[in-house]
A and B are shown apart, each in its own frame.
Chain A
């Protein structure tokens, strides 16, 4: 029975007795008794949940107000298990009269009815945090806020939640002047809990938040007084998500009934067309044709059966997929930037180009999936890979086992992408970090604690596809590396071992030292392009490519790379081989008539924020048979750039070389 449903009094005595005991239970009271639903079920989790709710809100508010977030979090240990928690932001602030409701009333918020991507959704979070603090310590929370504008007075107040009435009790309300603050909100509350470090810690949560919010600066002071700062990696704000009307697909009958009662529209026709997204006049007419409902009927007069008919009809009518500007994916560049910024201490060997999938819809809610993989370097190679789960830019730290992301990762056969995995199932092993971000107007979670994404087949499949795409990038890197190592070994042969062999045998036989050029070019038979990076200063990198001609002919070709345009300087344009750079940063260099057994270099500098986004291995060539080039790939067809055409007709010798190369590759396979 619903808690606040009252039984009508009747003549049956038992029911009367029962009725006298039945009373309204406030939502607050209900949640107090069921705090695990909100995620306050363990001592360490309680501390984290408060920070999580406050930081999520702060990031949402800043985004809405076009402010680059600057967030401060402090956890102070008082006695035994009591902590003072402080979370401060530079968001737009909250007007004075709304403060008690925002912080002191459950289910109060602006987003519950909106259909767009945001971090907080139900409005339960921050007030639940404050309520939990009230209950566990008996102390009120202190909140203060300042809004931008001429009226530069800030307001502060103590808040306690009356759990029976779900109403805030405010005390010590006072205005004050908040120095050096344009706008923002500060929450200070006392709570019981336990501070932990490791995988499910506040530190980990903030670190992961920084990865997917590279536009935010986050400062954290832990109970030992140690300060950690996650600096802002970019000044670019995420694209703001737009609010959209509900998409009719996946609509429940009850939702439709509620909306039909609340609408201002005069007719069902207008109601369908104006209150839903993607319902055109033609679609509305089709629905009327199927259901037989009169278009001019008042929406509030729709019966339950009619609503049911409409819902059924919607399933039969072809409706366009929901528009996607209600989503704000992080984007491949910023995922990479965020990962690099936070994980650079581990000096990863490779950041696989992140994948952002085109949006899809589930139950009328658009969603998109993004995946990034980081590999190698100091990332521990024993044990399972680290999985970073995110929903709408919020890190998910608990209930990994129940989450669709975990399931999707386990379902991929990672052995095909270069990671170890027992039997091709489960979380793979190896030196990798896998990031998965699901963004949606409504993320379906397994529970109110918002810790695990529900395993809906549409979402899990989409995650799987993104993982495979990104996995392919990883595999191609590993293959390239393997091939490079193979060639590097040949370098050792031709540069060190063979010359020694030639000298020794000549010595021994009393003969002249033979000229090895021909033998060497037969063994190598490649153009070898080797990048090196000099990055002594911060935000500065000097990239140098050394190009060796280890073939028997003179060689000419063009080299291409996509550079971060804002990071290049004069050194690029003044370089002798430089040809051109397009609007979007695609640069080209020409190598002309490089003689056999000779080498040349191409070098340039990158400076500024984006200097580290370029990975020197991503270099391409045109105007030469790619089979004989090591260290660069053929120019991709979708580059929109014409490489130099191969004008010369392949000489017979070139063809022979190609065959030899194939043989060699086979030999490598046999070696495996």
Chain B
């Protein structure tokens, strides 16, 4: 049991203790936590990330939801303590199934177990990883001339170069990317390109973009997992590597960038731990669609409402994003990264990225 885990259990125990004491005193138990919505996120100028504001939500045992959440909290905390003691970890999905035996504390969907885990983070000030809870999906793939070391199952530290020591699928980011597990040593790679889709990641690898431009490629796999975002953040902070985000050109991809750079609404309590404020958006922008005359699809109704919702999202409230979002709404079109293939398979590595990255001052 490490200190981190012990601290977590101590803090979680306090939560249960508070509920217990309120009941012993004949009170109606309540729990308080930050309101987790778009309305309650604000910019932290010191850390340059978006964090929760002062709005609090009170959970009271007067309502079925509140009382059930408290029961779940007690069950989950007991479960976490058990894992820490026996040095086990579980996926959120496993916890969802384990909750079958928790009577009325049982989760009725996996979303509920995910949300509770995040609630516990907010209330205890610890991280999900400290609770020995890990997400179902593993982190992203990484490719490029960069050396790091990781603890093996045998408890030895092993060095891995993300170009030479890995196969085609690259280095897999583990769920724990903290220093006790993953340490950075560096290599020729000078900057990081975080890529949304697997297709584009493979294209860049095949075209030798890593070697040619000394880039470290990270595959985001859609909305990136927490470990991926933490991994990127550490590369930026500890190795001073600039980060660029390369996604499709649609409202959902804008959100992927926002969660990498500004922090996600759901996890705003740990934004300073996950977000990389200096990350830049390389494309596909609305202007790219016009400038490069890319093949497009029409915006669906959902796309339009997502764009409109972004206009009222404080994270997108700057000149660049407002004009990009407006431009996309005006042309009513979106485009994929792989649409660049219109000009041949090498276009993205020979022309598009070099042009854009040079303009951004990366190359």
Partner of B28, one of A489, A505, A517, A522: A522
Distance (Å) between the CB of A325 and the closest chain B CB? Answer: 57
B residues near A502, Cβ cutoff 8 Å = 20, 23
Centre residue among B13, B74, B105 by max chain A CB count within 10 A: B74
A residues near B77, Cβ cutoff 8 Å = 508
Centre residue among B16, B17, B63, B81 by max chain A CB count within 10 A: B63
Query: A508–B64 contact, CB under 8 A?
Result: no
Partner of A506, one of B20, B70, B105: B20
Partner of B67, one of A498, A507, A511: A498
Taken together as a complex, chains A and B put the C-alpha atoms of A297 and B67 apart, in Å, by 90
Query: A501–B64 contact, CB under 8 A?
Result: no
Query: A514–B24 contact, CB under 8 A?
Result: yes
Contacts of B11-28 to chain A: CB distance below 8 A: 13, 16-17, 19-20, 22-24, 26-28
- Chain B residue nearest to A491 (CB atoms) is B64
> Given contacts A492-B64, A493-B62, is CB(A501)–CB(B23) below 8 Å?
yes
Taken together as a complex, chains A and B put the C-alpha atoms of A501 and B23 apart, in Å, by 10
A residues near B78, Cβ cutoff 8 Å = 504, 507-508
Query: B64–A489 contact, CB under 8 A?
Result: yes
Taken together as a complex, chains A and B put the C-alpha atoms of A664 and B66 apart, in Å, by 14
B83 interface contact, C-beta 8 A: no
Residues of B in contact (CB 8 Å), total: 28
Query: B104–A508 contact, CB under 8 A?
Result: no
A658 interface contact, C-beta 8 A: no
Query: A509–B13 contact, CB under 8 A?
Result: yes
- Chain B residue nearest to A506 (CB atoms) is B20
> Given contacts A496-B104, A500-B104, A501-B19, is CB(A508)–CB(B74) below 8 Å?
yes
Query: B62–A667 contact, CB under 8 A?
Result: yes
A497 interface contact, C-beta 8 A: yes
* A 652-669 to B, binary, CB cutoff 8 A, 1 in contact else 0: 000000000000100100
Taken together as a complex, chains A and B put the C-alpha atoms of A514 and B16 apart, in Å, by 13
A residues near B22, Cβ cutoff 8 Å = 519
B103 interface contact, C-beta 8 A: yes
- Chain B residue nearest to A504 (CB atoms) is B74
B75 interface contact, C-beta 8 A: yes
Query: B23–A516 contact, CB under 8 A?
Result: yes
* B 67-89 to A, binary, CB cutoff 8 A, 1 in contact else 0: 11011001101100100000000
Query: A493–B74 contact, CB under 8 A?
Result: no
Query: A493–B24 contact, CB under 8 A?
Result: no
Query: A519–B29 contact, CB under 8 A?
Result: yes
> Given contacts A509-B13, A519-B29, A523-B62, is CB(A497)–CB(B20) below 8 Å?
no
- Chain A residue nearest to B64 (CB atoms) is A489
A169 interface contact, C-beta 8 A: no
Partner of A518, one of B26, B29, B71: B26
Distance (Å) between the CB of A672 and the closest chain B CB? Answer: 13
Partner of B75, one of A489, A496, A504: A504
- Chain A residue nearest to B62 (CB atoms) is A523
Query: B27–A519 contact, CB under 8 A?
Result: yes
Distance (Å) between the CB of B291 and the closest chain A CB? Answer: 48
Distance (Å) between the CB of B138 and the closest chain A CB? Answer: 31
Query: A500–B105 contact, CB under 8 A?
Result: yes
- Chain B residue nearest to A668 (CB atoms) is B63
Distance (Å) between the CB of A660 and the closest chain B CB? Answer: 10
Query: A514–B23 contact, CB under 8 A?
Result: yes
A residues near B105, Cβ cutoff 8 Å = 500, 504
Query: A497–B19 contact, CB under 8 A?
Result: no
B residues near A507, Cβ cutoff 8 Å = 78
B61 interface contact, C-beta 8 A: yes
* A 632-671 to B, binary, CB cutoff 8 A, 1 in contact else 0: 0000000000000000000000000000000010010001
Distance (Å) between the CB of A551 and the closest chain B CB? Answer: 14
A residues near B28, Cβ cutoff 8 Å = 519, 522-523
Distance (Å) between the CB of B356 and the closest chain A CB? Answer: 49
- Chain A residue nearest to B103 (CB atoms) is A500
Taken together as a complex, chains A and B put the C-alpha atoms of A496 and B102 apart, in Å, by 12
Query: B26–A501 contact, CB under 8 A?
Result: no
* A 471-498 to B, binary, CB cutoff 8 A, 1 in contact else 0: 0000000000000000001101100111
Distance (Å) between the CB of A524 and the closest chain B CB? Answer: 10
Query: A498–B61 contact, CB under 8 A?
Result: yes
Taken together as a complex, chains A and B put the C-alpha atoms of A496 and B61 apart, in Å, by 12
A residues near B23, Cβ cutoff 8 Å = 498, 501-502, 505, 514, 516, 519
A residues near B67, Cβ cutoff 8 Å = 493, 497-498, 501
Query: B74–A501 contact, CB under 8 A?
Result: yes
A residues near B24, Cβ cutoff 8 Å = 514
A residues near B81, Cβ cutoff 8 Å = 508
B residues near A505, Cβ cutoff 8 Å = 16-17, 19-20, 23, 74
> Given contacts A505-B19, A508-B16, A667-B62, is CB(A497)–CB(B75) below 8 Å?
no
Distance (Å) between the CB of B61 and the closest chain A CB? Answer: 6
- Chain A residue nearest to B70 (CB atoms) is A501
A residues near B74, Cβ cutoff 8 Å = 501, 504-505, 508
Contacts of B34-66 to chain A: CB distance below 8 A: 61-64
Query: A511–B27 contact, CB under 8 A?
Result: no
A residues near B75, Cβ cutoff 8 Å = 504
Taken together as a complex, chains A and B put the C-alpha atoms of A496 and B29 apart, in Å, by 15
Taken together as a complex, chains A and B put the C-alpha atoms of A163 and B29 apart, in Å, by 88
**5 A-B pairs, CB-CB below 8 angstroms?**
A490-B62, A508-B81, A519-B27, A519-B28, A523-B61
Query: Interface on A for B, CB 8 Å cutoff?
Result: 489-490, 492-493, 496-498, 500-502, 504-509, 511, 514, 516-519, 522-523, 664, 667, 671
In the complex, the 7 A-B pairs of residues with the closest C-beta atoms, listed nearest first: A518-B26, A514-B24, A505-B20, A497-B67, A504-B74, A501-B71, A493-B67
Other 12 A-B pairs with CB < 8 A, given A509-B20, A519-B22 = A490-B64, A492-B64, A493-B61, A500-B103, A501-B74, A504-B74, A508-B74, A508-B78, A508-B81, A514-B24, A518-B26, A519-B29
